Chain A
């Protein structure tokens, strides 16, 4: 996947055939993170504002429904991907890129949860049942990196350590 051009209306990426298939399969997993995973306060806090927690979960559920509809619209409208000689051109408006980042991160974090929340650099205990989540975590991270690079976001060597 690479950025072909960007302008006022959005971004145009080039995707290989296999990359497009991977993207669609990854998006089809959304949503993966349980709404109850998010807490307003730390679990060890004594005071848990139940009403506010309920509102948070409702808000997140509503947002996910909207995202899911957009994902479905993307999956249902293959013309978003214009076939070219070496694959596809993939067109995204600025707002679409923003929600796609959210959707991909949900898949990435949800996959990480499904793998038992392994620490950085640690090998997750992969089984036949959860192996697809390891792939989904890596693939969603890869697509996120491409989208973030299109926004001018790249890791700095100074971040190491």
Chain B
């Protein structure tokens, strides 16, 4: 299975100092809740990110044991896409800026 897409770093806008929506720097986070089945969460990670089972299980266990797992660091648009996908499966996922 394919690994998570790695997007190239894009330089910060030197004039404004603001981040563009294309700049990597957004985190996709999955939060623990006591209702989703562990096998279901693993399956969803495999489906949404194209991860192999081992990588999906690693992130699932991180969610389960630590309360959350950062699933991707990417652009704002990609992060929104991933959050939409995860929420379609009723997982508790959010995005936040690294800054």
B36 to chain A, nearest CB (A): 7
- Which of A105, A117, A118, A151 contacts B90, CB < 8 Å? A105
CB nearest neighbor in B for A57: B87
Q: Interface on B for A, CB 8 Å cutoff?
A: 33-40, 42-43, 47, 57, 61, 64, 80, 83-84, 87-90, 94-96
Once the chains are docked, how many angstroms separate the CA of A153 from the CA of B46?
Answer: 11
- Let me know if B36 and A105 touch, CB within 8 A: yes
Q: Give Cα A129–Cα B90 distance, bound, in whole angstroms.
A: 24
Q: Report A's interface with B, CB cutoff 8 A.
A: 33, 38-42, 45, 52, 56, 59-60, 63, 98, 101-102, 105-106, 108-109, 112, 117-120, 137, 141, 144-145, 148, 151, 153-156, 159
A/B interface sample: 17 pairs, CB < 8 A: A33-B90, A41-B94, A41-B95, A42-B94, A45-B96, A63-B88, A105-B36, A105-B40, A105-B90, A112-B33, A112-B35, A119-B34, A120-B34, A148-B37, A153-B42, A153-B43, A156-B57
Question: Who on chain B is nearest to A41 by CB?
Answer: B94
Contact assessment for A155 and B89 in the assembled complex, using a CB-CB cutoff below 8 Å: no
B40-A42 in contact (CB<8A): no
Q: For the complex of A and B, list the 4 residue pairs with the smallest distance between their C-beta atoms, beginning with the closest.
A: A120-B34, A153-B39, A112-B35, A38-B87
Measured in the bound complex, the distance between the Cα atoms of B27 and A146 in whole Å is: 33
Separation of A102 and B64 alpha carbons in the complex (Å)? 20
Of B57, B64, B95, the most chain A CB neighbours within 10 A belong to B95
